[in-house]
Amino acid sequence: MTIDLRSDTVTRPTAAMREAMARAEVGDDVFGDDPTVLRLQQRVAEMLGFEAALYVPSGTQSNLVALMTHCGRGDEYLVGQQAHCYRWEAGGAAVLGSIQPQPLPQQADGSIALADIAANIKPDDAHFARSRLLCLENTWGGRVLPQTYVQEATALARSKGLACHLDGARLFNAAVASGRSAAELAQPFDSVSVCFSKGLGAPVGSALCGSREFIQRAHRWRKMAGGGLRQAGIIAAGALHALEHHVDRLAEDHANARRLAEGLQGLPGVQVTPPQTNIVFVDLPAERAAGLVERLAERGVLCTGLYTLRFVTHLNVTADDIDRALPVLRELLSA
Ligand SMILES: *Cc1c(COP(=O)(O)O)cnc(C)c1O
Protein backbone atom coordinates (compact mmCIF):
# COMPACT_ATOMS: atom_id res chain seq x y z
CA MET A 1 0.00 0.00 0.00
CA THR A 2 1.53 3.29 -1.11
CA ILE A 3 -0.23 6.61 -0.57
CA ASP A 4 1.43 9.15 -2.82
CA LEU A 5 1.05 12.67 -1.41
CA ARG A 6 4.15 14.11 -3.12
CA SER A 7 2.21 16.16 -5.66
CA ASP A 8 -1.04 16.40 -7.59
CA THR A 9 1.06 15.77 -10.72
CA VAL A 10 1.30 12.03 -9.90
CA THR A 11 -2.28 11.27 -10.92
CA ARG A 12 -2.96 8.57 -13.52
CA PRO A 13 -5.64 9.09 -16.17
CA THR A 14 -8.93 7.43 -15.21
CA ALA A 15 -10.44 4.70 -17.40
CA ALA A 16 -12.97 7.22 -18.76
CA MET A 17 -10.21 9.69 -19.56
CA ARG A 18 -8.16 7.02 -21.35
CA GLU A 19 -11.22 6.09 -23.35
CA ALA A 20 -11.78 9.71 -24.36
CA MET A 21 -8.12 9.89 -25.37
CA ALA A 22 -8.33 6.68 -27.38
CA ARG A 23 -11.41 7.95 -29.23
CA ALA A 24 -9.99 11.45 -29.87
CA GLU A 25 -10.27 12.85 -33.36
CA VAL A 26 -6.87 14.16 -34.38
CA GLY A 27 -5.15 16.25 -37.05
CA ASP A 28 -1.83 18.03 -37.31
CA ASP A 29 -1.91 20.84 -34.76
CA VAL A 30 1.11 22.57 -36.29
CA PHE A 31 -1.10 23.02 -39.35
CA GLY A 32 -3.86 24.11 -36.94
CA ASP A 33 -6.20 21.31 -37.90
CA ASP A 34 -6.40 19.06 -34.89
CA PRO A 35 -10.10 19.35 -34.01
CA THR A 36 -9.66 18.15 -30.42
CA VAL A 37 -6.93 20.70 -29.67
CA LEU A 38 -9.10 23.42 -31.21
CA ARG A 39 -12.06 22.35 -29.04
CA LEU A 40 -9.91 22.32 -25.91
CA GLN A 41 -8.52 25.77 -26.65
CA GLN A 42 -11.98 27.16 -27.28
CA ARG A 43 -13.40 25.55 -24.14
CA VAL A 44 -10.68 26.72 -21.76
CA ALA A 45 -10.72 30.25 -23.22
CA GLU A 46 -14.49 30.32 -22.66
CA MET A 47 -14.23 29.05 -19.09
CA LEU A 48 -11.62 31.69 -18.22
CA GLY A 49 -13.35 34.49 -20.10
CA PHE A 50 -10.70 35.08 -22.78
CA GLU A 51 -10.91 35.37 -26.58
CA ALA A 52 -8.35 32.67 -27.27
CA ALA A 53 -6.07 30.00 -25.79
CA LEU A 54 -3.05 27.96 -26.77
CA TYR A 55 -2.42 24.35 -25.69
CA VAL A 56 1.19 23.90 -24.56
CA PRO A 57 3.10 20.85 -23.29
CA SER A 58 3.79 22.19 -19.78
CA GLY A 59 3.10 24.96 -17.31
CA THR A 60 6.73 26.01 -17.52
CA GLN A 61 6.46 26.50 -21.26
CA SER A 62 3.16 28.31 -20.83
CA ASN A 63 4.71 30.85 -18.44
CA LEU A 64 7.80 31.21 -20.64
CA VAL A 65 5.72 31.83 -23.75
CA ALA A 66 3.58 34.34 -21.83
CA LEU A 67 6.65 36.21 -20.59
CA MET A 68 8.21 36.27 -24.06
CA THR A 69 4.95 37.51 -25.57
CA HIS A 70 4.58 40.32 -23.03
CA CYS A 71 8.26 41.30 -22.76
CA GLY A 72 11.10 41.85 -25.19
CA ARG A 73 14.85 41.88 -24.74
CA GLY A 74 15.80 44.25 -21.90
CA ASP A 75 12.29 44.40 -20.44
CA GLU A 76 11.58 43.23 -16.90
CA TYR A 77 8.81 41.48 -14.99
CA LEU A 78 7.94 42.01 -11.34
CA VAL A 79 7.42 38.68 -9.63
CA GLY A 80 7.35 37.06 -6.20
CA GLN A 81 10.65 35.82 -4.81
CA GLN A 82 9.12 32.34 -4.36
CA ALA A 83 6.94 32.39 -7.47
CA HIS A 84 7.13 29.45 -9.84
CA CYS A 85 7.82 31.61 -12.89
CA TYR A 86 10.82 33.16 -11.18
CA ARG A 87 12.32 30.54 -8.90
CA TRP A 88 11.23 27.17 -10.24
CA GLU A 89 11.60 27.45 -14.01
CA ALA A 90 15.37 27.25 -14.34
CA GLY A 91 15.71 30.94 -15.16
CA GLY A 92 14.08 30.46 -18.55
CA ALA A 93 12.79 34.01 -18.94
CA ALA A 94 16.30 35.41 -18.45
CA VAL A 95 18.15 32.69 -20.37
CA LEU A 96 15.82 32.23 -23.31
CA GLY A 97 13.89 35.51 -23.30
CA SER A 98 16.55 38.07 -22.31
CA ILE A 99 13.94 39.27 -19.81
CA GLN A 100 15.13 40.54 -16.46
CA PRO A 101 13.23 39.36 -13.40
CA GLN A 102 12.63 41.83 -10.57
CA PRO A 103 11.90 39.43 -7.70
CA LEU A 104 10.02 40.91 -4.72
CA PRO A 105 9.32 39.57 -1.22
CA GLN A 106 5.99 37.86 -0.64
CA GLN A 107 3.69 38.05 2.38
CA ALA A 108 2.48 34.87 4.08
CA ASP A 109 -0.56 34.78 1.78
CA GLY A 110 1.56 34.93 -1.37
CA SER A 111 0.82 38.57 -2.15
CA ILE A 112 3.48 41.15 -3.00
CA ALA A 113 2.97 44.34 -0.95
CA LEU A 114 1.52 47.13 -3.10
CA ALA A 115 4.25 49.47 -1.80
CA ASP A 116 6.91 47.03 -3.06
CA ILE A 117 5.26 46.88 -6.47
CA ALA A 118 5.01 50.68 -6.66
CA ALA A 119 8.61 51.19 -5.51
CA ASN A 120 9.99 48.76 -8.09
CA ILE A 121 8.30 49.95 -11.25
CA LYS A 122 11.17 51.83 -12.90
CA PRO A 123 10.85 55.24 -14.51
CA ASP A 124 11.64 55.54 -18.20
CA ASP A 125 15.38 56.15 -17.83
CA ALA A 126 18.30 54.64 -19.72
CA HIS A 127 19.73 53.21 -16.48
CA PHE A 128 16.84 50.81 -16.01
CA ALA A 129 15.28 47.83 -17.66
CA ARG A 130 11.78 48.65 -18.92
CA SER A 131 9.18 47.47 -16.37
CA ARG A 132 6.58 45.71 -18.52
CA LEU A 133 4.77 43.04 -16.56
CA LEU A 134 3.48 42.04 -13.13
CA CYS A 135 3.20 38.26 -12.50
CA LEU A 136 1.03 36.82 -9.74
CA GLU A 137 0.34 33.20 -8.81
CA ASN A 138 -2.98 31.67 -7.66
CA THR A 139 -3.10 29.39 -5.75
CA TRP A 140 0.22 30.06 -4.09
CA GLY A 141 1.46 27.36 -1.70
CA GLY A 142 -2.10 26.06 -1.74
CA ARG A 143 -3.51 29.46 -0.68
CA VAL A 144 -6.07 31.46 -2.57
CA LEU A 145 -4.85 35.00 -3.30
CA PRO A 146 -7.34 37.50 -1.82
CA GLN A 147 -9.33 38.80 -4.80
CA THR A 148 -9.45 42.40 -3.51
CA TYR A 149 -5.65 42.30 -3.40
CA VAL A 150 -5.55 40.97 -6.96
CA GLN A 151 -7.80 43.84 -8.07
CA GLU A 152 -5.61 46.43 -6.33
CA ALA A 153 -2.26 45.02 -7.49
CA THR A 154 -3.31 44.69 -11.12
CA ALA A 155 -4.91 48.17 -11.10
CA LEU A 156 -1.67 49.62 -9.72
CA ALA A 157 0.43 47.83 -12.36
CA ARG A 158 -1.92 48.92 -15.11
CA SER A 159 -1.88 52.57 -13.96
CA LYS A 160 1.89 52.49 -14.58
CA GLY A 161 1.51 50.93 -18.02
CA LEU A 162 2.36 47.34 -17.07
CA ALA A 163 0.47 44.27 -18.27
CA CYS A 164 -0.51 41.49 -15.83
CA HIS A 165 0.02 37.72 -16.08
CA LEU A 166 -1.39 35.09 -13.75
CA ASP A 167 0.32 31.76 -13.21
CA GLY A 168 -2.88 29.91 -12.45
CA ALA A 169 -1.45 26.40 -12.48
CA ARG A 170 -4.03 25.60 -9.79
CA LEU A 171 -6.58 28.29 -10.65
CA PHE A 172 -9.46 25.79 -10.56
CA ASN A 173 -8.52 24.85 -6.99
CA ALA A 174 -8.73 28.56 -6.14
CA ALA A 175 -12.12 28.81 -7.88
CA VAL A 176 -13.62 25.80 -6.11
CA ALA A 177 -12.24 26.85 -2.70
CA SER A 178 -13.39 30.48 -2.97
CA GLY A 179 -16.75 29.85 -4.61
CA ARG A 180 -15.83 32.30 -7.38
CA SER A 181 -15.75 31.29 -11.03
CA ALA A 182 -12.40 30.75 -12.76
CA ALA A 183 -13.41 33.59 -15.12
CA GLU A 184 -13.88 35.97 -12.19
CA LEU A 185 -10.45 35.10 -10.79
CA ALA A 186 -8.90 35.48 -14.25
CA GLN A 187 -10.67 38.72 -15.17
CA PRO A 188 -8.06 41.22 -13.86
CA PHE A 189 -5.29 39.68 -16.02
CA ASP A 190 -4.15 40.10 -19.62
CA SER A 191 -3.02 36.47 -19.73
CA VAL A 192 -3.52 33.40 -17.58
CA SER A 193 -1.79 30.03 -17.58
CA VAL A 194 -3.61 26.95 -16.23
CA CYS A 195 -2.33 23.38 -15.80
CA PHE A 196 -4.33 20.30 -16.80
CA SER A 197 -1.71 17.95 -15.36
CA LYS A 198 -2.07 18.94 -11.69
CA GLY A 199 -5.30 18.59 -9.74
CA LEU A 200 -7.34 18.17 -12.91
CA GLY A 201 -5.65 14.82 -13.44
CA ALA A 202 -4.82 14.95 -17.16
CA PRO A 203 -1.52 13.39 -18.23
CA VAL A 204 -0.09 16.29 -20.25
CA GLY A 205 -0.40 19.97 -20.83
CA SER A 206 -1.32 23.49 -19.88
CA ALA A 207 -3.13 26.31 -21.61
CA LEU A 208 -2.19 29.94 -22.02
CA CYS A 209 -5.20 32.26 -22.38
CA GLY A 210 -5.34 35.84 -23.64
CA SER A 211 -6.68 38.09 -26.37
CA ARG A 212 -6.75 36.76 -29.94
CA GLU A 213 -3.88 39.07 -30.86
CA PHE A 214 -1.81 37.98 -27.82
CA ILE A 215 -2.32 34.30 -28.53
CA GLN A 216 -1.39 34.80 -32.17
CA ARG A 217 1.98 36.23 -31.11
CA ALA A 218 2.38 33.55 -28.40
CA HIS A 219 1.98 30.90 -31.11
CA ARG A 220 5.33 31.83 -32.66
CA TRP A 221 7.14 31.60 -29.29
CA ARG A 222 5.53 28.20 -28.63
CA LYS A 223 6.90 26.98 -31.96
CA MET A 224 10.34 28.38 -31.11
CA ALA A 225 10.28 26.73 -27.69
CA GLY A 226 9.60 23.39 -29.36
CA GLY A 227 5.99 23.20 -28.25
CA GLY A 228 4.39 22.74 -31.66
CA LEU A 229 2.93 19.22 -31.43
CA ARG A 230 1.37 17.17 -34.19
CA GLN A 231 -1.51 14.77 -33.33
CA ALA A 232 -1.84 16.47 -29.94
CA GLY A 233 -5.58 15.76 -29.88
CA ILE A 234 -4.80 12.48 -28.10
CA ILE A 235 -3.45 14.31 -25.05
CA ALA A 236 -5.74 17.32 -25.46
CA ALA A 237 -8.68 14.90 -25.14
CA GLY A 238 -7.45 14.06 -21.63
CA ALA A 239 -7.38 17.76 -20.76
CA LEU A 240 -10.85 18.31 -22.24
CA HIS A 241 -12.20 15.36 -20.26
CA ALA A 242 -10.61 16.84 -17.12
CA LEU A 243 -12.30 20.22 -17.69
CA GLU A 244 -15.66 18.50 -18.07
CA HIS A 245 -15.39 15.99 -15.22
CA HIS A 246 -12.67 16.91 -12.75
CA VAL A 247 -13.23 20.54 -11.78
CA ASP A 248 -16.05 20.27 -9.23
CA ARG A 249 -14.50 17.19 -7.63
CA LEU A 250 -11.49 19.29 -6.53
CA ALA A 251 -13.70 19.95 -3.47
CA GLU A 252 -13.04 16.31 -2.46
CA ASP A 253 -9.28 16.92 -2.57
CA HIS A 254 -9.75 19.98 -0.39
CA ALA A 255 -11.86 17.99 2.09
CA ASN A 256 -9.20 15.27 2.17
CA ALA A 257 -6.50 17.87 2.84
CA ARG A 258 -8.57 19.19 5.78
CA ARG A 259 -9.08 15.61 7.00
CA LEU A 260 -5.33 15.09 6.94
CA ALA A 261 -4.61 18.40 8.71
CA GLU A 262 -7.23 17.72 11.39
CA GLY A 263 -5.90 14.21 11.93
CA LEU A 264 -2.43 15.62 12.62
CA GLN A 265 -3.58 18.07 15.29
CA GLY A 266 -2.23 17.81 18.80
CA LEU A 267 1.18 16.23 18.13
CA PRO A 268 3.70 17.92 20.40
CA GLY A 269 6.09 20.23 18.54
CA VAL A 270 4.28 19.67 15.23
CA GLN A 271 2.66 22.67 13.56
CA VAL A 272 0.02 22.07 10.91
CA THR A 273 -1.13 24.92 8.68
CA PRO A 274 -4.88 24.61 8.03
CA PRO A 275 -5.18 24.10 4.25
CA GLN A 276 -7.35 26.28 2.00
CA THR A 277 -7.09 23.89 -0.96
CA ASN A 278 -5.21 20.63 -1.55
CA ILE A 279 -1.80 21.28 0.04
CA VAL A 280 -0.95 20.68 3.70
CA PHE A 281 2.26 22.01 5.24
CA VAL A 282 3.58 20.50 8.45
CA ASP A 283 6.47 22.07 10.39
CA LEU A 284 8.67 19.90 12.59
CA PRO A 285 11.58 20.41 14.95
CA ALA A 286 14.86 19.92 13.03
CA GLU A 287 15.99 16.86 15.01
CA ARG A 288 12.79 15.01 14.24
CA ALA A 289 12.74 16.01 10.58
CA ALA A 290 16.06 14.40 9.65
CA GLY A 291 15.45 11.40 7.39
CA LEU A 292 11.71 11.53 8.00
CA VAL A 293 10.65 11.61 4.35
CA GLU A 294 12.63 8.40 3.77
CA ARG A 295 11.19 6.70 6.87
CA LEU A 296 7.66 7.64 5.82
CA ALA A 297 8.32 6.26 2.34
CA GLU A 298 9.42 2.92 3.85
CA ARG A 299 6.02 2.78 5.53
CA GLY A 300 4.20 3.60 2.29
CA VAL A 301 3.44 7.31 2.76
CA LEU A 302 5.13 9.52 0.17
CA CYS A 303 5.57 13.27 0.65
CA THR A 304 8.21 15.94 0.06
CA GLY A 305 10.03 18.49 2.21
CA LEU A 306 12.76 18.96 4.75
CA TYR A 307 11.74 20.78 7.97
CA THR A 308 8.44 21.63 6.42
CA LEU A 309 6.74 18.57 4.99
CA ARG A 310 4.34 19.03 2.09
CA PHE A 311 1.37 16.73 1.50
CA VAL A 312 -0.77 17.16 -1.62
CA THR A 313 -4.14 15.49 -2.07
CA HIS A 314 -5.46 14.60 -5.53
CA LEU A 315 -7.64 12.43 -7.76
CA ASN A 316 -5.92 9.20 -6.72
CA VAL A 317 -6.14 9.78 -2.95
CA THR A 318 -9.34 8.80 -1.14
CA ALA A 319 -10.59 9.62 2.37
CA ASP A 320 -9.77 5.98 3.24
CA ASP A 321 -6.18 6.55 2.10
CA ILE A 322 -5.96 9.54 4.44
CA ASP A 323 -7.32 7.42 7.29
CA ARG A 324 -4.70 4.75 6.56
CA ALA A 325 -1.88 7.31 6.29
CA LEU A 326 -2.75 9.09 9.56
CA PRO A 327 -1.64 6.43 12.10
CA VAL A 328 1.70 6.08 10.26
CA LEU A 329 2.13 9.85 10.18
CA ARG A 330 1.16 10.32 13.83
CA GLU A 331 3.61 7.63 14.87
CA LEU A 332 6.60 8.85 12.84
CA LEU A 333 6.03 12.60 13.29
CA SER A 334 6.04 12.13 17.08
CA ALA A 335 9.14 9.95 17.19
C1 LIG B 1 3.60 23.04 -11.62
C2 LIG B 1 3.56 24.49 -11.75
C3 LIG B 1 4.01 25.11 -12.92
C4 LIG B 1 4.70 24.38 -14.05
O5 LIG B 1 4.04 23.32 -14.58
P6 LIG B 1 4.85 22.14 -15.32
O7 LIG B 1 3.78 21.55 -16.18
O8 LIG B 1 5.33 21.24 -14.23
O9 LIG B 1 5.95 22.74 -16.11
C10 LIG B 1 3.91 26.48 -12.99
N11 LIG B 1 3.42 27.20 -11.97
C12 LIG B 1 2.99 26.64 -10.83
C13 LIG B 1 2.44 27.51 -9.76
C14 LIG B 1 3.05 25.26 -10.68
O15 LIG B 1 2.64 24.71 -9.54
pLDDT tens figures, 288-301: 889 999 999 999 99
pLDDT at 307: 87
Average pLDDT over residues 300-323: 96
- Report the share of the chain in percent with pLDDT over 90: 97
Average pLDDT over residues 109-131: 97
Alpha carbon of residue 249 to chain centroid? 17
In the chain the beta strands, taken as DSSP E runs, fall at: 3-4, 52-56, 75-80, 100-104, 130-137, 163-168, 191-195, 206-210, 271-272, 279-283, 301-302, 304-305, 308-312
| pLDDT tens-place string over residues 213-238 | 999 999 999 999 999 999 999 999 99
Q: Whose CA is nearest to atom 8 of ligand 1?
A: 59
In 71-111, where does DSSP find H-type helix? 84-87, 92-97
Strand partners, 305: 309
What angle separates helix 233-245 from helix 35-48, to the nearest 10 degrees?
30
| pLDDT tens-place string over residues 52-66 | 999 999 999 999 999
Instruction: Check pLDDT > 90 for residue 101.
Output: yes
CA distance linking residue 163 with residue 121, whole number of Å: 12
Q: Closest by alpha carbon to 195, among 8, 26, 46?
A: 8
- Is the CB of residue 70 below 6 angstroms from any atom belonging to ligand 1? no
User: Rounded to the nearest whole angstrom, what is the distance from the C-alpha of residue 199 to the centroid of ligand 1?
Assistant: 11
CA distance linking residue 230 with residue 108, whole number of Å: 42
| Structure confidence at residue 198 as a pLDDT band (50, 70, 90) | very high
- Is the CB of residue 206 below 6 angstroms from any atom belonging to ligand 1? yes
- Is the CB of residue 59 below 6 angstroms from any atom belonging to ligand 1? yes
User: Rounded to the nearest whole angstrom, what is the distance from the C-alpha of residue 216 to the centroid of ligand 1?
Assistant: 23
- Is the CB of residue 84 below 6 angstroms from any atom belonging to ligand 1? yes
- Report the share of the chain in percent with pLDDT over 70: 100
Instruction: Check pLDDT > 90 for residue 306.
Output: no
Average pLDDT over residues 166-193: 98
Q: Whose CA is nearest to atom 6 of ligand 1?
A: 59
Q: Are 104 and 70 spatial neighbours (Cβ–Cβ below 8 Å)?
A: no
| Structure confidence at residue 197 as a pLDDT band (50, 70, 90) | very high
Instruction: Check pLDDT > 90 for residue 252.
Output: yes
| Structure confidence at residue 335 as a pLDDT band (50, 70, 90) | confident
CA distance linking residue 132 with residue 79, whole number of Å: 11
pLDDT at 330: 97
| Structure confidence at residue 107 as a pLDDT band (50, 70, 90) | very high
pLDDT at 227: 98
| Structure confidence at residue 278 as a pLDDT band (50, 70, 90) | very high
- Is the CB of residue 165 below 6 angstroms from any atom belonging to ligand 1? no
pLDDT at 1: 80
User: Rounded to the nearest whole angstrom, what is the distance from the C-alpha of residue 288 to the centroid of ligand 1?
Assistant: 30
Q: Whose CA is nearest to atom 5 of ligand 1?
A: 59
- Is the CB of residue 273 below 6 angstroms from any atom belonging to ligand 1? no
Q: Which atom of ligand 1 is nearest to the CA of 61?
A: 9
Residue-averaged pLDDT of the chain: 97
